[in-house]
Amino acid sequence: MVIHRLSPPPRFVVLPSWKRTSRAARGPALPLKLARPQHSELRDFKKLSSDPPGGISGAPCADNIMVWNAVIFGPAETPFEDGTFRLVLTFDESYPNKPPVVKFLSKMFHPNVYANGELCLDILQNRWSPTYDVAAILTSIQSLLHDPNPNSPANAEAAQLYRDNNKEYVKRVRATVERSWVDEDVVE
């Protein structure tokens, strides 16, 4: 490989170390159904890394490609603005035919987020399509922060305040935003 003086450094992803050994020493090949999800997740990571939508970030854990950590920044001109919200996405072998389980790690006060951090979002349930990828999931969640659906509440108190006392709702969300800056404030 020839490296020119003005060439940018090569981009690569560090995955868990895999030693080169003979086929016999490695054992039998993985069944295709186990190898396929990893292919989909690597494709999603490559796409998200090369062309990330604004305000979202995500990557697989170094020791398990089936678990991703993600961050969504609160959308501008919303009560969530300036918030930094951490999530975890857990995939299984059925992905992309089945959605990942997505959960906020940061505490969240939102009509469509349960107390344990799980989301009530149609594309993660009955409207899932194998064409969705991680970027689409995170973008949809960011959009949900901008435009909650109080008619399908996971948090009845947040939904009621959103509908009936928006000033108090905004106050509670702003407190959530301030807590999002502190790493220790995590949903159990």
Please count the residues of the chain.
188
Q: Provide the token pair at 38.
A: 């990893």
Is the distance from CB of 177 to CB of 82 less than 8 angstroms? yes
Label residue 153 exposed, middle or buried (CB < 10 Å: 0-12, 13-18, 19+): buried
Known active-site residue 120: yes
Q: Torsions phi, psi of 176, nearest 5?
A: -65, -40
Using DSSP, state whether 102 is helix, strand or coil. Answer: strand
Is the distance from CB of 138 to CB of 58 less than 8 angstroms? yes
Is the distance from CB of 173 to CB of 79 less than 8 angstroms? yes
Catalytic one among 65, 71, 101, 120? 120
Residue 23 zone, left/alpha/beta (φ > 0; ψ -120 to 50; rest)? alpha
Q: Torsions phi, psi of 112, nearest 5?
A: -110, 20
Active-site positions read: 120
